[in-house]
Amino acid sequence: MKIMKIRNRYAPSPTGLQHIGGVRTALFNYLFAKSQGGTFVLRLEDTDRTRFDPAFVQNLFDTFQWLGFRWDEGPDLGGYCAPYIQSERTAFYQKAAQELLDKGKAYYCFCSAERLENLRNERESAHSGETGYDRHCRAIPKDSAESRVKAGEPHVVRLKIPLGQCTHFHDHLLGRIEWKNEDVNPDPILLKSDGFPTYHLANVVDDHLMGITYVLRAQEWLPSTPLHTIIYESFGWEPPKFCHLPMVMGSDGKKLSKRHGATSVDEFRRQGYLPEALVNYIALLGASYEEGKDVYTLEELVSLFSLDKLNKAPAVFDYKKLDWFNGLYIRAKSNEELAELALPYCAGLIKENMPLFIGAMALIKERISFLSEIPAKIAYLFEEPPLPEPSGFFPKKVGLAETVRLLELGKPLASTLCRCRKSEEEAEVFSKEEAARVAALAGVKLGDLMMPLRVAITGARMSPPLFGSLRLLGEEKALARVEKSLTMLKAALCG
């Protein structure tokens, strides 16, 4: 049954580049909102001002522009819940903290940093298992605390965690979760001495004021949810429904991180992954859609997504599977589309010869997994490759003299193939038949005949298809390369 009036959000902290885990969270929120006709909100949780950098905000915008899915409300789009940047919402948090103070659900704390440090040291010396704040200021009478605040004494605002109770909430994926309050961070700070909120207060206040109905976030936030539930209860607000998404792990079973390779989207983009491939693969990390099918467009994912299709088990990030997806999407591109995508990687190579560049795409499309592989594979078409040592031309079990003879046989063959003006498919058939005919007449193996010619044209024993390369390169350049190789080989034979 369709759920109405869904509002969910992606609320990153702009303290680093967008990474796979964050993008997966954003994508699942987007898919859920769109599948239910709801609203997807972007909120920047920038209360950590020491690590904040505007470059990370721009990276966030650029990343999702590239990936091809966006929010309905956010800092760059606006909306009726604006502003969508926490540092611009301080008045909301101060008002909320005052409300909890007035209700007796929070209190002023005057403990200095020195006292808190001494407390930690004493506990360490005593090998105490106690952690967190010792509630030293909790019993200060309200009137006394307010007088000290008015006198200008430095202070923070702390939440009163109800003692001797349990807090429970329902998670869509994990079911009922119950947590003893004694295991919750004891009386955490809500409002810091500079008037800025901590993450927990800002998060809860914003989700409430922005009408967020569902919170989909990574399971690493699960330990914070009892505290958030207590904050909701302290205000008398109904909390949103929670769904803590399965973790994304590396192949070693540990949480995905930089040690597993490229995890920032920028790195994947630089390596030449396509956004469609990345979105498709990320959508499968912790969710399943249709049995026996892996390839989906974004529109198909929207139509198929539901919270019931999420998996409880952690998802393993498999680079080989992602590479397979990327190759699949590359091969689905037309030559023109692929050339446009490859341009940023090959700008210094093509030298204004776009017809040759587009034609080259057909040669390498089946042989690459990343756009970044393209320059090295097609460079021989634009710049004459260096000649290898004579032995680099030799077919298996063939010496120098026979290699010279084979290349001399290959020279007129190359001329014939370059002049072929048939359609691409017909030209390929003709080239194979002509090469086989020449080899048969000369009494040599076809592979032996082609090896020296391939090296002369491409500079390598392994290369994109030779027949297509000859047609793209043209007779003049092809014959010049063959002649240069023959000159070098004959010199070696005489020497």
Q: Is residue 483 part of a domain?
A: yes
Which one has a higher pLDDT value, 435 or 349?
435
- List residues with catalytic annotation: 258
Reported as a single tens digit per residue, the pLDDT across 335-349 is 999 999 999 999 888
Which one has a higher pLDDT value, 262 or 127?
127
Q: What is the pLDDT of residue 251?
A: 82
Q: Is residue 74 part of a domain?
A: no
Same domain assignment for residues 283 and 341: no
Reported as a single tens digit per residue, the pLDDT across 47-97 is 877 888 899 999 999 999 999 999 999 999 999 999 999 999 999 999 999
For residue 287, list its beta bridge partners. Answer: 310
Q: Specify the pairing of strand 7-10 against strand 39-42.
A: parallel
Q: Is residue 84 part of a domain?
A: no
Q: Give yes or no for residue 111 having a pLDDT over 70.
A: yes
Q: ∠ at Cα 7 (157, 287), nearest 5°?
A: 105
Same domain assignment for residues 280 and 353: no
Q: Cα–Cα distance between 55 and 331 in angstroms, integer? A: 34
- What is the number of domains present in the chain? 4
Q: Is residue 364 part of a domain?
A: yes
**Of 117-131, 254-268, 386-400, where does the model show the most confidence?**
386-400
Which one has a higher pLDDT value, 126 or 351?
126
Which structure tokens are listed for 441?
Answer: 């007449």
Mean pLDDT lowest among 164-173, 245-254, 453-462: 245-254
Q: Give yes or no for residue 261 having a pLDDT over 70.
A: no
pTM: 0.91
Average pLDDT rounded to a whole number, residues 324-339: 97
Reported as a single tens digit per residue, the pLDDT across 282-313 is 999 999 999 889 999 999 999 999 999 999 99
Q: What is the pLDDT of residue 2?
A: 42
Q: What is the pLDDT of residue 3?
A: 43
Tokens 């490229």 belong to residue? 262
Question: In b/e form, how buried is each residue of 234-273, taking b as 16+ CB within 10 angstroms?
Answer: bbeeebbbbbbbbbbbbeeeeebeeebebbbbeebbebbb
C-alpha pair distances (Å), 478 with each of 309, 442, 459, 467? 56, 22, 12, 11
Q: Cα–Cα distance between 340 and 342 in angstroms, integer? A: 5
Q: Give yes or no for residue 260 having a pLDDT over 80.
A: no
Same domain assignment for residues 168 and 300: no
Q: Cα–Cα distance between 107 and 103 in angstroms, integer? A: 10
Average pLDDT over the chain, rounded to an integer? 94
Same domain assignment for residues 197 and 176: yes
Same domain assignment for residues 262 and 231: no
Same domain assignment for residues 435 and 394: yes
Q: What is the pLDDT of residue 255?
A: 82
Residue 112 — very low, low, confident or very high, per pLDDT cuts 50/70/90? very high
Residue 25 — very low, low, confident or very high, per pLDDT cuts 50/70/90? very high
Q: What is the pLDDT of residue 328?
A: 97
Q: Which of 45, 68, 122, 52 lies closest to 298 in space, CA to CA?
A: 68
User: What CATH number does the domain containing 237 carry?
Assistant: 3.40.50.620
Q: What is the pLDDT of residue 4?
A: 52
CB 201 within 8 A of CB 190: yes
Sign, Cα dihedral of 284, 289, 295, 299 = negative
Q: Cα–Cα distance between 201 and 228 in angstroms, integer? A: 8
Q: Give yes or no for residue 196 having a pLDDT over 70.
A: yes
Return phi, psi of residue 357, to 5°. -60, -45
Q: At 421, which amino acid appears?
A: R
Average pLDDT rounded to a whole number, residues 378-396: 95
Q: Is residue 265 part of a domain?
A: yes
Q: Is residue 322 part of a domain?
A: yes
Of 224, 245, 266, the residue that ends a domain is 245
Q: Cα–Cα distance between 415 and 475 in angstroms, integer? A: 6
Which structure tokens are listed for 370?
Answer: 């990343």
Q: Give yes or no for residue 258 having a pLDDT over 70.
A: no
Same domain assignment for residues 372 and 395: no
Average pLDDT rounded to a whole number, residues 410-435: 94
Same domain assignment for residues 399 and 462: yes
Average pLDDT rounded to a whole number, residues 3-25: 90
Q: Give yes or no for residue 366 having a pLDDT over 70.
A: yes
Q: What is the pLDDT of residue 135?
A: 96
Q: Is-cis flag, bond preceding 375, omega within 30?
A: no
The boundaries of the domain holding residue 201 are 89-245
For residue 191, list its beta bridge partners. Answer: 157, 197
Same domain assignment for residues 340 and 298: no
Q: Is residue 66 part of a domain?
A: no
Residue 262 — very low, low, confident or very high, per pLDDT cuts 50/70/90? low
Q: Which of 274, 485, 330 lies closest to 392 in space, CA to CA?
A: 485
Q: What is the pLDDT of residue 47?
A: 80
Q: Cα–Cα distance between 304 and 172 in angstroms, integer? A: 18
Q: What is the pLDDT of residue 129?
A: 83
Q: Is residue 192 part of a domain?
A: yes
Reported as a single tens digit per residue, the pLDDT across 398-409 is 999 999 999 999
Same domain assignment for residues 153 and 238: yes
Same domain assignment for residues 93 and 238: yes
Same domain assignment for residues 320 and 291: yes
What percent of the chain has pLDDT above 90? 89
User: What CATH number does the domain containing 452 carry?
Assistant: 1.10.10.350
